Amino acid sequence: MNLVTPDLGLFFWALLTFSLVFFVLSRVAWKPIMQALKERETSIEQALASAEKARQEMAKLTADNEKLLDEARIERDRILKTAQKAADELREAEKERTTKEVAKMLDDARRVIQSEKQQAVNEIKAQISVLSVDIAEKLLRQQLADKNAQQALAQQMVNDLKIN
């Protein structure tokens, strides 16, 4: 039972050793330990503040990126609309030009056809007049072979001249 009950001498030496170690530690190690803990606490606070600042900057950058993306989308849409409008205008102008060219070609074709038609009619008239003269010549030769027929024809022509 002696081991369980403290002895006064053991108590004294234990207290003296504890006091001595406490004094030495408080003089030599307590300040550096406390300073290290304070530095550690300060660095942790700075790291937390830095992390919060970085988080805020990331949020700001994300917002700025979203804003830039929105602006880029708006600009892209505007450019696409402008390009579509220009393409439509170009298509319409080309369509108009093609329509005018087709109309001009049709007019030219009509003029050529009309000209060729008139030329053909003139050629037919010329041929008809040549044929008419040939037929008239043959008829007159046949009718004028007789002297009485010549006189009757001359008399008829004179009568026709007087009437006109």
Whole-model pTM: value is 0.42
CB 153 within 8 A of CB 144: yes
Predicted local distance difference test score (pLDDT) of residue 20: 93
Which has more confidence, 32 or 117?
Answer: 117
Q: Which amino acid is at 21?
A: V
Predicted local distance difference test score (pLDDT) of residue 39: 94
- Range with lowest mean pLDDT among 4-8, 41-45, 48-52: 4-8
What is the Cα–Cα distance from 163 to 156, expressed in whole angstroms? 11
Question: Domain ranges in the chain?
Answer: 8-163
Predicted local distance difference test score (pLDDT) of residue 25: 84
45 pLDDT band, cuts 50/70/90, is very high
Predicted local distance difference test score (pLDDT) of residue 69: 95
CB 143 within 8 A of CB 153: yes
What is the Cα–Cα distance from 76 to 73, expressed in whole angstroms? 5
Kindly report, residue by residue over 96-142, the tens digit of the pLDDT: 999 999 999 999 999 999 999 999 999 988 888 888 888 777 777 77
What is the Cα–Cα distance from 101 to 95, expressed in whole angstroms? 10
Structure tokens belonging to residue 109: 């074709």
Q: Which amino acid is at 109?
A: A
Beta-carbon contacts of 143 under 8 Å, excluding residues fewer than 6 positions away, are: 149, 153
Kindly report, residue by residue over 54-95, the tens digit of the pLDDT: 999 999 999 999 999 999 999 999 999 999 999 999 999 999
Alpha carbon distances (Å) from 41 to 26, 50, 51, 147: 20, 14, 15, 156
